[in-house]
Structure 1
Amino acid sequence: MSRASAWAPLCLLLAAAVPLSRQQQPPERPVFSCGGILSGESGFIGSEGFPGVYPPNSKCTWKITVPEGKVVVLNFRFIDLESDNLCRYDFVDVYNGHANGQRIGRFCGTFRPGALVSSGNKMMVQMISDANTAGNGFMAMFSAAEPNERGDQYCGGRLERSSGSFKTPNWPDRDYPAGVTCVWHIVAPKNQLIEIKFEKFDVERDNYCRYDYVAVFNGGEVNDARRIGKFCGDSPPAPVVSESNELLVQFFSDLSLTADGFIGHYKFRPRKLPATTEPPVTTTVPVTAGLKPTVALCQQKCRRSGTLESNYCSSNFVLAGTVITTVPRGGSLHATVSIINIYKEGTLAVQQAGKNMSAKVIVVCKQCPLLRRGLNYIIMGQVGEDGRGRIMPNSFILMFKTKNQKLLNALKNKQC
């Protein structure tokens, strides 16, 4: 965008931003400083010196607060920052809350994103520039809105009703727009869980869901260690149930291809008491859905018994996969396994994102057997009521090698 061509729309924008009394004094212009604390029903923020070229080596932070019970809606009126596909040099970050909030989006170049909505009454905007600057910066307007009455052009927010829906902007009339980030924070009463189901789903397909995607997290923040799944493509993901009374759903679209989008539904449901499942044939220790291992159980020798063949039929699921996350919780270890091949699925909950599949497993006794992140394993085990695999001290776990595939494929066709 040339500097000359930028001035005409800038004049109109600035006129709209300035009270009438100031418009009557042409020599005066609003002065945008580096950051600030803003509150009220609406207002404007802009890069330092806007509409002049923003300074180099700067970091400016704006903290916005609207009245309690409302959410912040941010609309970029103008943006012209150094362009880079990954926004590595000069960029504007937008966050939920004033500190330690999840990032709603990062923007640069001249592409204006859609409306950005916080989940509460606070939002933080931060602009960073490096030594080489290029552009007139940005100007944006913030306003307060009711959490549940924002219209289809917005997305995201806090959902606290016992059931409801969430959908991409423009659904179902048009494709979702490029360059948006939506975050729905669903909060149930303390003694309840949250279940979400996608009725329709069409998000730009990619084997690794790198471009447009839906990510679902346990808790109230974006945290890869607590991510339940990351989804894209045109097949609705399997229903998801939270581990606690909070769930976060994040939708992201990049600046290129878009698709129909999705509509999802959520509902609160009672937290079930731990229940006992059938024990595997190879052990006398019952597999429970509870996550706290008994002392006696974890004092057993960490040693698998039998062979691939002898354990196949007695196992509820059999897979080969790569351990991609490990999170200690109490005396147990919660792991996410990216599936290389699944030979026996049973009742295991398998998440699919494009062509990638993953499953959650719990090593009931944290160090026994030992699963290390980044390594490939053959995993055999039982499944709890929550759909997650349970790995006991004597479960059959083996480092996966290519030579194992022939035997596993033969077992896959075996009648148990």
Structure 2
Amino acid sequence: MKDTALLPLTLLLIPALVKCQQSTNFTRPVFLCGGQITGEQGYIGSEGFPAPYPPNKKCSWIVTVPQGRVVILSFRHMDLETDPICRYDHVSVYNGNSASAGRLGRFCGTFRPGAVMSTSNSLLIEMESDNDSAGKGFLAMYTAGLPHEKENQFCGGKLVKPQGSFKTPNWPEKTYPTGISCSWHIVSRPNEFIELKFEKFGIENDNYCRYDYVAVFNGGKSVEAERVGKFCGDSPPDPIISEGNEMLVQFVSDLSVTADGFLAKYDVRRKMGADGQPLPLPTTTTTTTTTKAPRRKVIASPINLCRQKCRRKGTLQSNFCASDFVISGQVMNVVPSGQTLLATISVINTYKAGNLQTRQVGDNTIAKMVVVCKRCPVLKRGTSYTLMGPVDQQGRGRILPDSFFLIYKAQQHQVLTKLTSRRC
């Protein structure tokens, strides 16, 4: 546990500012949905914090500090709907005054992220919420910091050479600075992969790496579903090999204890075929793009589908293998979403998951379903169904006019359990 004596005095005073109204010298801060914020330090909170934040809102705050300074943002409280890749309620932080600037992080759940630092005197914070599962939101402190004094103290960037190295700021002369966030995006060519090795490693130790840490991701984005690992302490991780031709390495330090930092090296290698020979480097046009295009067209244009008769086809057994997912669950909520309906399902049993994304909300496992045609079929709130069908690119189940669904009965469980043991 961190020694609170190391934290700035202002951080220790925030509970009094937020929770108390006893002193005549202070009033409870009122946190609004977004705004333009200037000054050398202050606090930003979700709308109404510490009361639960409202649903279906998007709030944006632009923080501007004096010229020649940078913005350091430190989260003091985080309580948003939990999802592995923060698809529902989330807070995004951008390195500038618009969303076109590079995104420094996307956060949700109850895990408090490390400090985030801009490279200019402005920072954009955006919070979005969907229609359910609200928490208390977030509270963050911003301060105006000094940019690094030496050019080699800046960290992060895009690395495209076949071999290279990178390190934390100040390595090896002294410990890394507090309150920074650095991201190195390593990119190679198709049919190549990346091997990452940490030659030296010393990051503030914590059993859960909550304060200072290094996170490594497959691909070029810091999404939890692609995270390979999160590391801290004084033992270097084993060598890490990417699944594809991109890797993202993110380093975060908070506002107190620091350590030596790290020195990392990477090598780009060619993938080998079954014959032991290096795979050829493909052209920029890949079969992946070609095969995905028809699916995107269907998802975006449900009009023709909705002209079909609302009638399920086949049987429970014949549809089992043809479906990406098979679950039983109770409808918790159904709300309009453009030309479709979005249903929230509390899962009773999962017989086939495929790419269907679920999340834990209290004691319930929740899945999202898109009812492509509003009146076909009709899912009633509070009713339990056996549902099966395809999964879209966002991990949501799709209910079509000819999708096979039944009002759930206990005897279906035995039949579906037997089907799961058979080979399709």
Do they superpose with TM above 0.5? no
